[in-house]
Structure 1
């Protein structure tokens, strides 16, 4: 595999824009501060440095400190560590002298400052390394010119350039010369065998600040003269504010004022001038302004508000009936239709049909929604945790009728995102409040606010039907019914697409006032369980080995010319074979029951095996073995953390996650009613990566979807019972071995 990038011509502005591609498509940002002089000392007093402007990403001080600005948000997925590793590798600096910080929104010099989709490493792999290699070559060229020799006569190690006589120059010594040189037309990237930083275990660059409580998150941010705001929103989806009495709240200690916001956002929303995310509930809202967060929360509870119904107030029974009627109906959007599934079912020897269902789910980020805003006549200063800063800034400009150039937005580290912070409603609220009161303000949501007025994973039902003829799978029909749709654009081209001659995917949705959107691993977080559980049952009906069934189907996809297919059959087969070996599949001692899955999503191929044992007549998950092919693993330590986190999150929500509505009101408002996985319930996770030299793909999401299927199949093996509805532990007594089994 060649790693050189020949015949690329840059102007200085093009180099800035090419560097921007290092962030384009990425989820995070990075800043490197590295001491590159032979005698440099760290830590460096960054504020005191005199920098030369190298380009939009890199500044190098005369003392050798190299700053690489990272524009994209960090949501806890570890890319704030992994991305700098890519630049540092090709720039050839020592990692132990690297500092990392967060950049600000800058649409002139950076592109796609977004966090979402497990795409950061994948999209930044070539561009980030090229940025580092180009900067390194310019510095070498400057040193060579000073010595009067060819650049090829120089060597570089950890930011120190050496000539054939043994003379040395640090990057800081030649940065001013390098900054005015022409951009090299050709740079050669390192071969994987020469990596020193990529592939090494590197701890999270923020870990010391995280564990010692240093300011990093939106909730940590403070500004002089800042006040706090708590927003009283409609208690039910489908309601709007009619009137309110704030006299008691205004008399409470610490309360400064009570105001109303939302009228302008509602008007713009009705005219489609702004997106629905600008106000999740298109209603006027009551806001308590106070000296502290606690004062604001107490004042909000004292507000006496009257709400009016403006649409049907849905409950879970209504939603369930709607989804069932969609599955039973004929109004579908066909996303893929190969062959003739109807004929396949008509000619089948055996037909298996099953329906799977899941509830709404909230995001429950550790850090509730919050944001800082200071709106003045001169500028709008915004600070906080958001996954889509550019969209947030643009919407604030529309909402307040200001020029986008007036807005300065700084991003903080996020205490979890999982898709919730893609939607910037909390940013717009903060800006509207500050504009109304003429003061800097921090809008802070309580946990109850977050859970009751959030963006939820939609309730979904899948109906899967398979035809078997002469021992072969001849037809496959997947139908999806989801509240507000399920962002389903990719699912028709995932496995088993291409493996079954007659294959069809239909989707349908019904509109709801309940706000839904992306939830960790969109498209697949529930679908993977449904399909992989179905395939296990299908293997039983076909009387074939469940692992071999997948391998045989993947064999049929090899050599396909169908460009719609998203996955690699070879790579999926490889993870299957590896997980069978590493998990001891079929070789466990008596009393250990195993469940198998293989899945592709977010550009990564994953196979998992769950081990379950019976304790007190109940299945208990003891271990999950996971094999992933994500290409080159940039930071194995961070990668293992992502894999483990995804699996545990997937298990926890499949087992316990449940969220219902009654008359439009969420029935879980805090963790006393919403069940999360507990530490004692977390199984051992054994992780293995397929070693190759392919470009890396994401890991923040791909290991979550298969987890539900692995444990469901293992629990079936242990108890003889299949479950078709999440959460699996909605009725724990179902799993007791003394209870009547429901066999697939």
Structure 2
């Protein structure tokens, strides 16, 4: 059974031709909404270089299919899963599909962004329509060749069959298909008929990754390019007064030293010489703005929580009346530090700025915005920019910001050379875009055994409304509910960090719900389920989560984890959270070893709609949980006089292999459209282990990282079972 779906792109925008020098069919498509009115085929398509023009499916005479993947690949798997959607509806054998990374192409693509776990969600219908339209064109061509109605034809793995049993391969009809009208209505497969979607598909780049072939930005080379390493202010709030580069210029391999803005770039024939030359620079820095410290930030955030200067994001009922009438009030304050991103691949980018063209190549999550920023910086037409995306060795939000791309472009423009800018690990940590330090204060009113008031207040360094989602759970479940934010503007650069808005808020709220349950002397899981009942049937369209879907993941994780049924000596912690359009519930199992709690297992249940690639999905969930546990336990970062207190992994603690627990993951099976997956498993992980630690030790953790206060993790003299 299939479902008829109206195409979202026009006939005119659906480009197709058979005049390839190699033969075959080239089909253009828009991936998300509609082909841009500006989209036009190249003047001489027979000379088309598929590495430079990519908004197409290419079907060769031999039936091989090339699909160009437009979105940046940061390890979230879209270079595999997005083409899977097209191939499913095109009805070809996945073994016959080749995937190539697309370039930035604003004429033919929209939302070429890796961020927010939204690529599959936005591409779900359009990508499938693209494949289905191409398949229908091929079927129509075969039907015309046989003189039969297209409805009498079926397809399977790139072969068209009519009712007489005659067959034609896609490659046999590509030329004829290119001459036909583009159909306006196509039929999409029923999910029960999927053969590629919902099946395990290995990463399309995996063979190249494990054999060390060129994929990442650091791998990119171009003849004649030089390497650049930049000296930046050692502290936020400093400016360059003067510098001496005489010793730098003596170093073998150094070819030039260029001052730009508040920085100095050393250009050399290799990265080692460039970095060695940078270290030989003698620079004088003076204070430009206030040099801030972590202790000062802590006081500022506390003052903001105690102050009345706030912005109210949501206000239901009257919390003042609720607190005034309460039988009991529970209040807690939670604190998280700044965090760097620490991508495995440090920031890097290639730039070649000439009079006619700006050629950019490298790892970036926001290619379109970055191209516009480069054009503005250099006062050039953005049409002169050609930006190619490489695979990224991690992003986590850091590569949403193109500061390193602008730096490479500015250096190339000044040096009049093609430049490959490479950060050292120290550069990466000392000049980052950090997750901001945040404090949350949560206060709840209890009256007659019910939660009658809930006040959530955020104080953040820089990012007003950055860390707070006012319409997530428990919004809508509590009559008197208010969310306020306040922020302090710092000169320390901050921005998105994996699962922005929710990576720390989930820990704060889910820990607080456990504390509320204790104060009310009720079951902590049932308390959450009771609150969800109050949201069912709501007409409040501000509510973003589904109480029914959240309820289901909770019931399943309780069952799969053996919640409350573990043997003595195993302590469990529960958390459930919604973010990036996905519902997740997690249970952590903790045991005491050498007087300290150790996370032994995490059971996770996820409702992300249809799981496009289960193998890739499992990797995302497990990676998110490990990341969430690691940073909740160990991630600590701060500043003294504007200078980061850690510049490498000898002083910045990450989770180690031996500390990773067993992880069991279950996906809710349904046929709902896919939602986000790269980030949603991270936020509840810290809360689940914190609640398990409370069960084991009796101590409530309110500050991350947990190892900052190891005494709170020690087993008390008398074992406490929660």
The TM-score, its normalising length taken from structure 1, stands at 0.91
Q: 2:455 aligns with which of 474, 477, 488?
A: 477
Alignment match, 2:529: 551
Assess if the C-alpha contact under 8 Å between 2:2 and 2:189 holds in 1.
Answer: no
**CA displacement, residues 406-451 of structure 1 (integer Å, 9 cap, x when unaligned):** 1111000000000000000111111111111111110000000000
State the superposition RMSD in angstroms: 2.2
Q: Distance in 1 between matches of 2:110 and 2:599?
A: 44
1:340 aligns to 2:339 (yes or no): no
CA positional deviation for 1:474: 0.3
Q: 1:564 aligns with which of 523, 538, 542?
A: 542
Q: Distance in 1 between matches of 2:54 and 2:273?
A: 46
1:425 aligns to 2:399 (yes or no): no
Q: Secondary structure at the match of 1:491?
A: coil
Q: Distance in 2 between matches of 1:405 and 1:291?
A: 30
**CA displacement, residues 688-708 of structure 1 (integer Å, 9 cap, x when unaligned):** 011111001111000000000
Q: Distance in 2 between matches of 1:2 and 1:506?
A: 48
Assess if the C-alpha contact under 8 Å between 1:105 and 1:390 holds in 2.
Answer: yes
CA spacing shift, 1:24–1:575, aligned 2, 3 Å: farther
Q: Distance in 2 between matches of 1:3 and 1:286?
A: 60
Alignment match, 1:458: 436
Q: Distance in 1 between matches of 2:130 and 2:7?
A: 15
Assess if the C-alpha contact under 8 Å between 2:467 and 2:502 holds in 1.
Answer: no
Alignment match, 2:30: 20
Q: Distance in 1 between matches of 2:721 and 2:482?
A: 27
1:359 aligns to 2:331 (yes or no): no
Q: Secondary structure at the match of 2:649?
A: coil
Q: Distance in 1 between matches of 2:646 and 2:383?
A: 41
Q: Distance in 2 between matches of 1:159 and 1:401?
A: 49
Assess if the C-alpha contact under 8 Å between 2:634 and 2:706 holds in 1.
Answer: yes
Assess if the C-alpha contact under 8 Å between 1:23 and 1:70 holds in 2.
Answer: no
Residue ranges of structure 1 left out of the alignment (5+ in a row): 26-46, 263-283
1:683 aligns to 2:661 (yes or no): yes
Assess if the C-alpha contact under 8 Å between 1:18 and 1:127 holds in 2.
Answer: no
CA positional deviation for 1:60: 1.9
Alignment match, 2:159: 160
CA positional deviation for 1:14: 5.4
Q: Distance in 2 between matches of 1:511 and 1:742?
A: 43
Q: Secondary structure at the match of 1:638?
A: helix
CA spacing shift, 1:740–1:341, aligned 2, 3 Å: farther
Assess if the C-alpha contact under 8 Å between 2:468 and 2:505 holds in 1.
Answer: no
Assess if the C-alpha contact under 8 Å between 1:49 and 1:61 holds in 2.
Answer: no
1:218 aligns to 2:225 (yes or no): no
CA positional deviation for 1:2: 7.8
Alignment match, 1:394: 372
Assess if the C-alpha contact under 8 Å between 1:611 and 1:624 holds in 2.
Answer: yes
Q: Distance in 1 between matches of 2:265 and 2:202?
A: 41
Alignment match, 1:276: none
Assess if the C-alpha contact under 8 Å between 1:24 and 1:124 holds in 2.
Answer: no
Alignment match, 1:254: 253
Alignment match, 1:191: 190
Assess if the C-alpha contact under 8 Å between 1:349 and 1:469 holds in 2.
Answer: yes
CA positional deviation for 1:218: 0.2
CA spacing shift, 1:286–1:343, aligned 2, 3 Å: same
Q: Secondary structure at the match of 1:12?
A: coil
Assess if the C-alpha contact under 8 Å between 2:72 and 2:389 holds in 1.
Answer: yes
Residue ranges of structure 2 left out of the alignment (5+ in a row): 17-26, 36-45
Alignment match, 1:723: 701
Alignment match, 1:206: 205
Assess if the C-alpha contact under 8 Å between 1:486 and 1:517 holds in 2.
Answer: no
Assess if the C-alpha contact under 8 Å between 1:571 and 1:629 holds in 2.
Answer: yes
Q: Secondary structure at the match of 1:500?
A: coil
Alignment match, 1:83: 82
Count of aligned pairs between the two proteins: 701
Q: 2:609 aligns with which of 631, 652, 659?
A: 631
The TM-score, its normalising length taken from structure 2, stands at 0.94
Alignment match, 1:539: 517
Q: Secondary structure at the match of 2:132?
A: helix
Q: Secondary structure at the match of 1:189?
A: strand
**CA displacement, residues 97-129 of structure 1 (integer Å, 9 cap, x when unaligned):** 222120111111111111100001111111111
Q: Secondary structure at the match of 1:13?
A: coil
Match runs of 1:305-704 below 5 Å: 305-485=283-463, 487-488=465-466, 491-704=469-682
Assess if the C-alpha contact under 8 Å between 1:9 and 1:184 holds in 2.
Answer: no
Assess if the C-alpha contact under 8 Å between 1:23 and 1:71 holds in 2.
Answer: no
**CA displacement, residues 267-299 of structure 1 (integer Å, 9 cap, x when unaligned):** xxxxxxxxxxxxxxxxx2100001100000100
Assess if the C-alpha contact under 8 Å between 1:458 and 1:486 holds in 2.
Answer: no
CA positional deviation for 1:3: 3.6
CA positional deviation for 1:478: 0.0
CA positional deviation for 1:48: 12
Assess if the C-alpha contact under 8 Å between 1:24 and 1:113 holds in 2.
Answer: no
Assess if the C-alpha contact under 8 Å between 2:254 and 2:268 holds in 1.
Answer: yes
Q: 2:282 aligns with which of 296, 304, 315?
A: 304
CA spacing shift, 1:658–1:739, aligned 2, 3 Å: farther
Q: Distance in 1 between matches of 2:194 and 2:721?
A: 52
Q: Secondary structure at the match of 2:352?
A: strand
Q: Secondary structure at the match of 1:649?
A: helix
Q: Distance in 2 between matches of 1:528 and 1:644?
A: 17
CA spacing shift, 1:740–1:666, aligned 2, 3 Å: farther
CA positional deviation for 1:13: 1.1
Q: Secondary structure at the match of 1:367?
A: coil
CA positional deviation for 1:489: 8.0
Q: Secondary structure at the match of 2:81?
A: helix
Alignment match, 2:72: 73
Alignment match, 1:147: 146
Q: Distance in 2 between matches of 1:55 and 1:185?
A: 23
Q: Secondary structure at the match of 1:258?
A: strand
**CA displacement, residues 377-419 of structure 1 (integer Å, 9 cap, x when unaligned):** 2211110000111111111111112111211110000000000
CA spacing shift, 1:87–1:431, aligned 2, 3 Å: same
Q: Secondary structure at the match of 2:470?
A: helix
**CA displacement, residues 152-190 of structure 1 (integer Å, 9 cap, x when unaligned):** 111111111122233222212211221232121211111
